[in-house]
Chains A and B, each alone.
Chain A
Amino acid sequence: MTTEYFLPKAALQSLIDCLHGDGFTVVGPTVEQSAIIYDEIESVDALPRGWTDRQEAAKYRLERRDDDSLFGFVVGPHSWKKYLFPPLTTLSSAQQSESGWQMQTPEADARKLAFLGVRACELAAIGIQDRVFTGGPYVDPVYNARRKNAFIIAVNCTQSASTCFCRSMNTGPRCSSGFDLALTELPDGFVIEVGSDAGTELLGRLATESVTAEQLEAAEQARQQAIDQQTKQLNTDSIRDLLLGNLDHPRWAEVGAICLGCTNCTMVCPTCFCSSVEDVADLSGENVERQRHWDSCFNLSFSYMSHGTARNTIAHRYRQWLTHKLASWHDQFDSSGCVGCGRCITWCPVGIDLTEEVATIRGNEAFCDLGTENEE
């Protein structure tokens, strides 16, 4: 059992201050343009005190809570990937000189980032991106530099949105590993668990109190609420074979007819990692930067080859996304590519819900089996 502590609400600012003092840039949730996003924060006042989010397919709305909770919401359109895997980065530069082109690696980004308010599904998503960017034969230097320095303060969810299905994906709602500190919010403070030596060290500098049995019980109840509220499910039984064995299922064409190919789902997904690299030159053409930006398998150009594009229709591209996320990801990275955060459902403008897509494919398959038995 990990030892737990209690941090009074008023002492949360000292946590942020300590991190600042250690040279960290602290990133946390804050309200902007009617959504809770992640941004650099200076003080607890930037946190979404008293706000909650209401989510369903294609709908996201902020509402006032009847309390002063700082973390009384689930997840918004942002995820931490925008800090670890920045939407736009310079990977290398090239200069034309008398002896020809010379290529250089840019200065490593030595910024130390502290993430405040990382949910269980997001810890899982970071774990997945760790494997993508640092677990293979090639390590991405940009991700690696930022990740190595990152300090993670997790927050246990005390509620679930109608779009959440982390329980099906075994990623939450309880934060179990992958953090330096983990908080459970109570009306007057936080029950804190420690997940690393760095966490212990930092906690030692805060005015924590020993935790009472009542506080532990209240924290447990708060976390149980998130479990009880969760209704959405994804049946993951043999999901890899189910999807890869149904590449010609008629459902792909149906969902392809609705999907706009807007890429929203891939932009908000905390695990999607597709990108493209392009050259940006100055006017002389002698100084060039190679820039990486987020891309999406929903873009037609993504599978371009000079003799033809591999995935020509939106149906092909939706199938690529879903089969990658839920099926071939297992072959590639030994886990699902989905953590059940529900963002792609909320932020899809036409409300496509991947759990329904899978259920339909699964259901129709069962139906087909029945169909042959009951053949007239």
Chain B
Amino acid sequence: MSQASITEQLATLNFTQDLPESVRDALAKIASERTLAPGDVACREGQSTKELFLIVSGHVGLDMFVPGRGQVRILTLRSGEVLSWSAIVGNHGATATGTALDKTHVIVFHDDDLTRLCQTNHHVGYLVMRELAKAISRRLVSTRLQLLDLFATEKA
């Protein structure tokens, strides 16, 4: 698959669509593409992860292991969302297991390349980190809402 198609895809994805074109081009240069088959594991809880994924299509389930309960699904990710942010900001230890639920197309950034790009070009670095922070903050809000267990005593 060509670089041009990655650039095009970045222009449509929630995570990257608001970035300036030059920044998307810089990102496209260090990105690769991959297709996950249902059941493929993109990152595994507790294990080192060096890749950050941007989901283009398909779904990825995030599971955490709870002794006595097994794998518990905590979130489903879909197009436009980041997977495995720990690769960039989390000391490389994956906090959950990400498993493709169907045929899932992803854009992949290697930590070394992305970190190097961000460090050498702070403009890109700032914008990428800001998008990452926004994505993580959205995830945090959702997690809080989940924590509130709003439908435990619910209303119509």
Contacts and interface: CB of A to CB of B under 8 A. Distances in A.
Contacts of B153: 306-308
Contacts, number: 7
Contacts of B155: 305-307
A115 B154 CA distance: 49
Interface in B107-156: 153-155
B149 to A, nearest CB: 12
Interface of B: 153-155
Interface in A292-325: 305-308
5 contacts: A305-B155, A307-B153, A307-B154, A307-B155, A308-B153
Which are the 6 A-B pairs with shortest beta-carbon distances? A307-B153, A307-B155, A307-B154, A305-B155, A306-B153, A308-B153
A306 B154 CA distance: 9
A306 B155 CA distance: 8
Nearest to B155: A307
Contacts of B154: 307
Interface residues of A, number: 4
A99 to B, nearest CB: 31
Interface in A302-353: 305-308
Nearest to A308: B153
A16 to B, nearest CB: 55
Contacts of A306: 153, 155
Nearest to A305: B155
A369 B109 CA distance: 51
Contacts of A305: 155
Nearest to A307: B153
A244 B115 CA distance: 49
A306 B153 CA distance: 8
A257 B6 CA distance: 62
B152 to A, nearest CB: 9
B153 to A, nearest CB: 4
A316 to B, nearest CB: 19
A305 B156 CA distance: 12
A188 B126 CA distance: 89
A309 B153 CA distance: 13
B29 to A, nearest CB: 50
A305 B155 CA distance: 9
A307 B153 CA distance: 6
A305 B153 CA distance: 11
Interface string A278-290: 0000000000000
B26 to A, nearest CB: 44
Interface string A95-134: 0000000000000000000000000000000000000000
Nearest to B153: A307
A253 to B, nearest CB: 25
B151 to A, nearest CB: 10
A294 to B, nearest CB: 28
A305, A307, A308 — which one has the most chain B CB atoms within 10 A of its CB? A307
A43 to B, nearest CB: 57
A308 B154 CA distance: 10
Contacts of A307: 153-155
B51 to A, nearest CB: 43
A306 B152 CA distance: 12
A156 B153 CA distance: 56
